[in-house]
Amino acid sequence: MHDNCPVCKQKFELETGFWFGTGYVSYALGVALSVFNLIWFWLFIGLTWRDNSIMVWLAVNGVILLLCQPWLMRISRVIYLYFFVYYDEETASLLEEK
């Protein structure tokens, strides 16, 4: 990841350890994805203890989370940055004209 924005030169790491907060955002996204996976698995396949379908869901969910991890990490950084940095369209348009 760049240290500064290539367009507006905004510094991405606002303070030391700034990105540690993205772990909380990534966790929330992972939980939301797991709940979504649980709902679709329950609706289309069904969940019971008798046939170990819960263990199958855990395995499927784990694989999906592993495959989505790079995306989750990137999007959690973007969401976390939006909490602290305001985007001004007028300033952005002025910088693009240069």
Neighbouring CB atoms inside 10 A of 14's CB total 11
Residue 34 lies in a domain: yes
Do residues 1 and 77 touch, judged by C-beta distance below 8 A? yes
Q: Is 5 contained in some domain?
A: no
pLDDT above 90 covers what percent of the chain? 45
Count of structural domains within the chain:
1
- Show the domain range for 46: 21-97
Tokens 């907060």 correspond to 21
Buried b (16+ CB within 10 A) or exposed e, 60-92: ebeeeeeeeeeebeeebbeebbeeeeeeeeeee
Q: Which two tokens stand for residue 61?
A: 């969910």
Q: Is there a domain that residue 37 lies in?
A: yes
Asked if residue 55 belongs to a domain, the reply is yes
The pTM of this model reads: 0.75
> Over the stretch 48-91, which tens digit does the pLDDT of each residue have?
878 888 999 999 999 999 999 999 999 998 898 888 877 776 76
Q: Is residue 10 part of a domain?
A: no
